Chain A
Amino acid sequence: MTGPIHGSPGAHVPVLKLGGILLVTLQGELHDRAAEQLQQDIGEAIEASSVTGVVIDISGVEIVDSFLGRVFAEIAAQAKLLAAQTVVAGMRPAVAITLVELGLTLPGLRTALDAQQAMLMLDPASVPVPHSPVRRESP
């Protein structure tokens, strides 16, 4: 039911670079300090190389409180100043319902169903996926 507590308080969340996009996958419990460290790491990563987008995959996150919500908003704002777009992907229904009830609708943040969709949104050419963005439909 509950994920294990990942890493020690100071542990880094790995930041992956795929083409011009940074992919950050959050899992289980995230300590406050790890979240703040992540914010800093992403800023440095954007600065160091030409990054046009940041994808934060939170499909493995069981709760987002106002602190973590603020971290997401700040990452997005900071990335925007460095000319990169941020997409938060894979938020679970229970987390979304809770955030809305909490009053945190994160209006400035772009969202996607999963990391793949997020990558597509940021750079349609970057994703080596079997099905193309424009799907052929059959009723």
Chain B
Amino acid sequence: MADHEAAGERNSSAQEVGEFLRRRREQIAQRWADETLFRTVFTMSRDEAVEACRAVVEALAAVAVADQVDNLGAAGFIAVRDQLGRMVASRTRTGAGSTQIADEVAALRTPVAELLRSELEGSPSGRTEECSVTLTALMGTLRLVVLETALNAGQELIDRQRLQLLEVATPVIKLWDGVVAVPLIGTLDSARSQVVMESLLDAVVSQQARFAILDITGVPTVDSLVAQHLMKTVAAARLMGAECIVSGIRPAIAQTIVHLGIDLGSVITRASLADALAYALHEQGSVVVDRNRTGTSAR
């Protein structure tokens, strides 16, 4: 048999499978709707499950017709990636591991294979075999696509949690009417500095704060990048009409700042958070009275 003939044969088997999938879309969808994967995701309505199944069958058919049964990135799969992503996310939430999800996808092959076999009854046996091999390859690819989607979903979850962790690690506190502060603890990297800047500035708006204090007592080191972020925050606060004070610069850090030749000239700094608060109160005209010292009577 000549090479090009063999290739032609294989092409048409993929196309045949594709056409078969399109022809039998309704039946396959009905059967899949009862499989674990779809049943457990679409618990509310079977119609929804069938609808989702139709979309997946349609996508597989498109991939097969385009003769791309082995191609993870086939255009046909793009259409169902979103849907598969939602399904995977829903299965993951109910505690299914990626192996289990992969097994559930694998289980989808059997009903389709049965249909295909009965449809091809009477065709030459070589043909039947070829089509069923193609179908197996196609379903294998679907399984990989689902797995890949599952891994990506996991990565997205990690990213989201990382961001949440960042936000949790930078609480903005209202110290007084018109004074907010964020005590920074730990290493400041670019991503964290960004979150700090945004939460502090949001607090300036929501608290109508004319003063914002960045306390870096808990920050082990300040390099030029961190200093740059601090100065950007100060500049942004100023544009919004608030004054930003950096407090808690320990002697070692002060030394580094001088060493690095960083000019914090335009930034108001104070040794401690208390000093920064005192400055802010003084600036906005608030007077704190010590009752014991002045002897004024208590209310």
A40-52 CB contact bits vs B (8 Å, 1 = yes)? 0000000000000
Q: Which of B129-137, B147-155, B239-247, B268-276 contacts A (4 or more CB under 8 A)?
A: B239-247
A114→B242 CA distance, assembly (Å): 10
Which residue of B197, B201, B241 contacts A112 across the interface (Cβ within 8 Å)? B241
Q: Is A105 an interface residue (CB 8 A)?
A: yes
A83-95 CB contact bits vs B (8 Å, 1 = yes)? 0000011111101
Q: Which of A77-113 contact B (CB under 8 A)?
A: 88-93, 95-97, 99-101, 105-106, 111-113
Q: Which of A1-9, A13-21, A26-34, A130-138 contacts B (4 or more CB under 8 A)?
A: A130-138
A91 x B241 contact (CB < 8 A): yes
Q: Is B100 an interface residue (CB 8 A)?
A: no
User: Chain B residue with minimal CB distance to A97?
Assistant: B236
Q: Is B288 an interface residue (CB 8 A)?
A: yes
Interfacial chain A residues near B241, Cβ < 8 Å? 88-91, 111-114, 117-118
Which residue of B205, B238, B286 contacts A93 across the interface (Cβ within 8 Å)? B205
Q: Is B89 an interface residue (CB 8 A)?
A: no
Q: A97-B197, A133-B285, A135-B284 are in contact. Are A111 and B238 (CB under 8 A)?
A: yes
Q: A97-B197, A135-B285 are in contact. Are A92 and B205 (CB under 8 A)?
A: yes
A113 x B210 contact (CB < 8 A): yes
A135 x B286 contact (CB < 8 A): yes
Which residue of B177, B240, B281 contacts A111 across the interface (Cβ within 8 Å)? B240
Interfacial chain A residues near B239, Cβ < 8 Å? 88, 91, 95-96, 99-100, 105-106, 111
Q: Is B198 an interface residue (CB 8 A)?
A: yes
Q: Is B208 an interface residue (CB 8 A)?
A: yes
User: Chain B residue with minimal CB distance to A117?
Assistant: B241
Q: Is A139 an interface residue (CB 8 A)?
A: yes
A88→B242 CA distance, assembly (Å): 12
A11→B49 CA distance, assembly (Å): 54
B208 x A97 contact (CB < 8 A): no
Interfacial chain A residues near B237, Cβ < 8 Å? 96
A113 x B286 contact (CB < 8 A): no
Interfacial chain B residues near A113, Cβ < 8 Å? 204-205, 208-210, 240-242
A118→B202 CA distance, assembly (Å): 19
What distance in Å separates the Cβ of A65 from its nearest Cβ neighbour in chain B?
A: 14
User: Chain A residue with minimal CB distance to B239?
Assistant: A96
A135→B281 CA distance, assembly (Å): 10
Q: Is B232 an interface residue (CB 8 A)?
A: yes
A72→B124 CA distance, assembly (Å): 81
Which residue of B176, B201, B242, B288 contacts A97 across the interface (Cβ within 8 Å)? B201
A119→B288 CA distance, assembly (Å): 27
Interfacial chain B residues near A139, Cβ < 8 Å? 176, 288
Interfacial chain B residues near A88, Cβ < 8 Å? 239, 241
Interfacial chain B residues near A99, Cβ < 8 Å? 236, 239
A111→B178 CA distance, assembly (Å): 16
List the 7 shortest-distance A-B pairs measured between CB atoms, nearest first: A93-B201, A112-B241, A96-B236, A111-B241, A96-B239, A134-B285, A113-B241
22 A-B residue pairs with CB within 8 Å: A88-B241, A89-B241, A91-B239, A92-B205, A93-B198, A97-B198, A100-B232, A100-B235, A105-B239, A111-B239, A113-B204, A113-B209, A113-B210, A114-B208, A133-B285, A135-B177, A135-B178, A137-B177, A137-B281, A137-B286, A137-B288, A139-B176
Q: B-side interface residues toward A, CB under 8 Å?
A: 176-178, 197-198, 201-202, 204-205, 208-210, 232, 235-242, 281, 284-288
Q: A-side interface residues toward B, CB under 8 Å?
A: 88-93, 95-97, 99-101, 105-106, 111-114, 117-118, 133-135, 137, 139
